[in-house]
Copies of this chain bind each other. A is one copy, B any other.
């Protein structure tokens, strides 16, 4: 399993007039978590694109329990719980506020595209190799 922890502070522009972090903003928060999780593999998502692979999202799910507020420090726990098989890689999420209250849980599923052909491809070997040390 891969597990990473990311921290960020809620920006003013991320709140809405309800006084909550806008529900769509978690797409960005989860992305921050995902990028941090990936760095544990020894490369960044930027490197992935530099090697000609795009990783668009094919499924995005959030279950909201409690709102986050302006200036809160948010902790995003990101998991890759099982070794990707086939074409998809799944990230699971938990967001907490600084009182350690669970704000939401979520799941993001990505696939790999060849940047030039824009066709779906399998996870490259170098990516699988980096993953394999985490899943025995």
Contacts and interface: CB of A to CB of B under 8 A. Distances in A.
Contacts of A67: 56
Contacts of A59: 61-64
Interface string A43-73: 0111001000010111111111001001100
B31 A11 contact: yes
Interface string A25-37: 1111001100100
A50 to B, nearest CB: 10
A133 to B, nearest CB: 23
Given A56-B67, A71-B45, A13 B35 contact: no
Given A13-B31, A24-B13, A71 B56 contact: no
